[in-house]
Chains A and B, each alone.
Chain A
Amino acid sequence: MAAEGKTIDALSQFELTPALGVLGAAVNFTQSNLHMLIAAAIILALMTWGMRPRAVVPGRLQSLAEASYEFIYRMVTDQVGEEGKRFFPFVFTLFMFILVGNMLGLLPYAFTFTSHIAVTFALAAIVFVLITVVALMIHGRKFFGYFFPEGAPVWLAPIIVPVEIVSYLSRPVSLSIRLFANMVAGHVMLKVFATFVVMLAGLGAVGPFLSVMPLALNVALVGFEVLVAFLQAYVFAILTCIYLHDAVHLH
């Protein structure tokens, strides 16, 4: 799916195709879902197989598992406070799922399921429903006071309340679009420059030398994408924590 003729086809890499043969096609199981399954398997393998030694002085794999556990645990307790401990498994699942999904997508022939707005929006919607339900369960009707901060002049209510409602409702949108756009942009860029490599290589004698430039750029971009993959998972997780803090404490 590289350069077909002389055109650059950067978007076909996001097309969904059924995976796992006839059985997968019958239940509309796509390659995107297959990668989700692989990501889940990697996470479970790391956290069970990696932790299996249960050593006091951890080895490499156990250190990785413990570091990810403690990283998210500290993030949740720092942002949400002591009450946030019961949300730790959720934030951990979310962070690891997005992180492994992003990283997995950087491998050749792999599919990046976080580059689908439907997926990222579904994840953001889960977060949105969770924070709304938690806020309603803890604060009941007082939750609606969230949309009008205490001490603000009453005559400003017609402005403040709609703004607060819109900002609250835009949370899942910004959350999902941020991740989606970052992943799509990165993969489109990688594909575009990879296509340049192929196209320049075909330009006669000087072509192979010219094509070294986009190749070098792509190498740098892959490194950059690793950073973005981690950063976006981190941003998603920490924003979830901040929203959970708002839900638990109301401001």
Chain B
Amino acid sequence: MPQLDFDNPLLLAQVVWLLIIFGGLYLLLAGKVLPKVGEVLEARAARIAADLEAAQAAKAAADAAMAEMRAAIEKARAEAQAAVAAALEAADAEAQARSEALNARLAAQIAAAEARIEAARNAAMGALRDVATETATALVARLTGSADPARVQAAVDRALAARGSA
């Protein structure tokens, strides 16, 4: 096996060169090359973290705006409802007032009409009494030759009263 031929001076020389090459490679990688690679990876990680942060901030802002909008909608709705309720109440009150005024006017008109009817009836009643008294007096005078107007009037009144109550 050539690998175990330790008399070969090339075998030892190979190890010496190995140490030189490996050491040189280590120094180059550790000193210059790998830190640069690490920088690139760190820059990327930092950029991703910053982007994520920005995205998070944007999301928070969007959420806040959404909440604001929702609150505004809620407020507007409440205002609209209050306005509608106020308008309804005002309309109710007006309608009530108007109907009350109308009722009062109608009641006054009814009362006036009743008074007029009463007056007309009284007038009619008075006229009827005079006519009845005159007729009764004339009838009694023709039948008996004389008549006492006061007694006739009393009799007519009694008869009318009896009719009115009947």
Interface residues of A (CB under 8 A from B): 11-12, 14-18, 27-30, 32-33, 36-37, 40, 43-44, 47-48, 51, 54, 56, 65-66, 69-70, 88-90, 92-93, 97, 113, 115-119, 122-123, 126, 180, 184
In the complex, what's the smallest C-beta–C-beta distance from B8 to chain A, in angstroms? 7
In the complex, what's the smallest C-beta–C-beta distance from B98 to chain A, in angstroms? 78
Nearest A residue to B11, CB-CB: A118
Q: Is B164 an interface residue (CB 8 A)?
A: no
> Is B3 touching A117 in the complex (CB atoms < 8 A)?
yes
Q: A123-B22, A180-B3, A184-B3 are in contact. Are A51 and B29 (CB under 8 A)?
A: no
In the complex, what's the smallest C-beta–C-beta distance from A90 to chain B, in angstroms? 6
Nearest A residue to B38, CB-CB: A69
> Is B29 touching A92 in the complex (CB atoms < 8 A)?
yes
| Partner of B33 from A15, A48, A180 at Cβ < 8 Å | A48
Give the number of A-B contacts (CB < 8 Å): 112
Please report the C-alpha to C-alpha distance between residue A17 and residue B10 in the assembled complex, in whole angstroms.
8
> Is A118 touching B14 in the complex (CB atoms < 8 A)?
yes
> Is B37 touching A28 in the complex (CB atoms < 8 A)?
no
In the complex, what's the smallest C-beta–C-beta distance from B50 to chain A, in angstroms? 12
Q: Return chain B residues, CB-CB under 8 Å to A36.
A: 17-18, 21-22
Nearest A residue to B21, CB-CB: A36
Interface residues of B (CB under 8 A from A): 1-4, 8-15, 17-19, 21-22, 24-26, 28-30, 33-34, 36-38, 40-41, 43-44, 47
> Is A47 touching B24 in the complex (CB atoms < 8 A)?
no
Q: Return chain A residues, CB-CB under 8 Å to B38.
A: 69
| Partner of A115 from B3, B8, B13, B37 at Cβ < 8 Å | B3
Please report the C-alpha to C-alpha distance between residue A173 and residue B77 in the assembled complex, in whole angstroms.
84
> Is B2 touching A47 in the complex (CB atoms < 8 A)?
no
> Is B40 touching A89 in the complex (CB atoms < 8 A)?
no
Q: Return chain B residues, CB-CB under 8 Å to A33.
A: 13-14, 17-18, 21
Please report the C-alpha to C-alpha distance between residue A29 and residue B9 in the assembled complex, in whole angstroms.
11
> Is B18 touching A122 in the complex (CB atoms < 8 A)?
yes
Nearest A residue to B28, CB-CB: A44
> Is A116 touching B3 in the complex (CB atoms < 8 A)?
yes
Nearest B residue to A116, CB-CB: B3
| Partner of A97 from B4, B25, B34 at Cβ < 8 Å | B25
Q: Return chain A residues, CB-CB under 8 Å to B3.
A: 14, 115-118, 180, 184
Q: A118-B14, A180-B3 are in contact. Are A56 and B47 (CB under 8 A)?
A: yes
Sorted nearest first, the 6 A-B pairs with minimum C-beta distance are: A28-B13, A89-B30, A33-B17, A16-B10, A40-B25, A15-B2
Please report the C-alpha to C-alpha distance between residue A180 and residue B3 in the assembled complex, in whole angstroms.
10
Please report the C-alpha to C-alpha distance between residue A28 and residue B18 in the assembled complex, in whole angstroms.
12
Please report the C-alpha to C-alpha distance between residue A152 and residue B13 in the assembled complex, in whole angstroms.
46
Q: Return chain A residues, CB-CB under 8 Å to B15.
A: 118-119, 122
Q: Return chain B residues, CB-CB under 8 Å to A12.
A: 2
> Is B30 touching A30 in the complex (CB atoms < 8 A)?
no
**7 CB < 8 A contacts A-B:** A17-B10, A30-B10, A30-B13, A51-B40, A89-B30, A92-B29, A92-B34
Q: Beyond A44-B28, A93-B25, A93-B26: 13 further Cβ-contacts under 8 Å? A: A11-B2, A14-B1, A16-B2, A16-B14, A51-B37, A56-B47, A69-B34, A69-B38, A88-B34, A90-B26, A113-B14, A113-B18, A118-B12
> Is A14 touching B2 in the complex (CB atoms < 8 A)?
yes
